[in-house]
Homo-oligomer: A and B are copies of this chain.
């Protein structure tokens, strides 16, 4: 029986789960892949930390980088995390020394994926990163293998469970951002420092990887990113009244030979599929030719879902299913044009909190007309006691730059009580 020696580097929750899984499922994985996955070595920053797994002394490496040098390591599973430092050093060295690499590290792949893929290709080893995007949702393998026949025009969806949990809880429980964030932290749905989840950076890294796979292009940093910190209960209530839900969505799309990558809170029709996805789930929608529209939904994070993804990558290597990390050889990948969204058309929701006095409304609407943005719907909610008013405007499709210009111009007016808001609407 063939055998592949594995080193797991990083023994946090995911590393421990994977270690245990591989030990307990050796037999069935060997039967399915005709090759034994043997966990020969491990390494972790803190060897003495209490873990729920049994590791023999002989399995511990003196130094995590030894895994890249030792002859009897075939495959390294990188679970350190972060785009720089030890994770970067490990993966670069591993590939240079002709070890297969399986990683859950989206930051690393989004930043150095092109360079890493080049080394992997040169040395004919696999670089697999299913676990780096949406945990249990097998979107990478679907794009690279199941949907290989397709020319993808658009991929979008809910790529971050934490922010989706927060937005859907704010909606269902009618609570504020800060209250819900506290609950999310208690339930383990948000990390102690949830910045990357809330400011859109997590989705951004995932989306860069996906769009590169969809459009056969190199990775691009030309991406618009906006998080959910400024969404409040009032926006969610307003959205509901207008027939929408607010979701943090990532989009990568090919329009007239330009690629747009964008991550932002989005108003999406209540009765759409995406609006129905609540809690920590992830969901990805793919428009492809000839297949039509495909949807994949599942658990986006956590040790168990991530292990499912890691094991699918490991199995692919066990079977000798050699692939280019980004579907195509380095020399065939394209340098496509990634555009800023400024010229892209959006319909949008704008909200202005103003002092309720004569002339304000006409002042605002004149700024819209000056910028040639036409108004589809306008709702004014005055609060007679406080002498303030909330003006909600839904626009027809207009260039992003004009919408932003309006936002800036109105913000300067002295009748404005609070920073104005703009949330883009998904017109599908």
Contacts and interface: CB of A to CB of B under 8 A. Distances in A.
B315 A148 contact: yes
A324 interface: yes
Contacts of A84: none
A193 B347 CA distance: 46
A337 interface: no
Contacts of A312: 145-149
B147 A145 contact: no
A298 B304 contact: no
Contacts of A32: 148, 324, 327-328
A296 B296 contact: yes
A200 interface: no
A202 B40 CA distance: 47
Contacts of A145: 141, 145, 312, 315-316
Given A142-B138, A145-B141, A315-B148, A308 B291 contact: yes
A8 to B, nearest CB: 15
Interface residues of A, number: 56
Contacts of A33: 148
A305 B294 CA distance: 10
A29 B148 CA distance: 8
Contacts of A216: 28
A115 interface: no
A307 interface: yes
Nearest to A329: B31
A364 interface: no
Which of A290, A299, A305 has the most C-beta atoms of chain B within 10 angstroms of its own C-beta? A290
Contacts of A296: 294-297
A134 B97 CA distance: 42
Interface in A331-381: 332
Which of A130, A291, A303 has the most C-beta atoms of chain B within 10 angstroms of its own C-beta? A291
B307 A290 contact: yes
Contacts of A294: 136-138, 296-299
Nearest to A30: B332
Given A299-B292, A320-B320, A138 B146 contact: yes
A89 interface: no
A21 B149 contact: yes
Contacts of A324: 32
B292 A295 contact: no
Contacts of A138: 142, 146-147, 294
A298 B284 CA distance: 12
A139 to B, nearest CB: 9
A428 interface: no
A304 B290 contact: yes
A291 B305 contact: yes
Given A295-B297, A321-B321, A322-B319, A290 B147 contact: no
A289 interface: yes
A150 interface: yes
Interface in A112-167: 130, 136-138, 141-142, 145-150
28 contacts: A17-B290, A21-B149, A31-B328, A31-B332, A33-B148, A136-B291, A136-B292, A137-B294, A138-B142, A141-B145, A141-B146, A142-B146, A145-B315, A146-B146, A146-B312, A148-B312, A148-B315, A149-B312, A273-B276, A288-B308, A289-B304, A291-B308, A292-B299, A293-B298, A294-B298, A294-B299, A295-B297, A320-B320
- Would you list the 6 A-B pairs with minimal beta carbon distance, nearest first? A138-B146, A149-B311, A290-B304, A291-B308, A295-B297, A294-B298
Given A17-B290, A130-B146, 10 more contacts: A31-B332, A138-B294, A149-B307, A273-B276, A292-B298, A292-B304, A294-B296, A295-B296, A295-B298, A320-B320
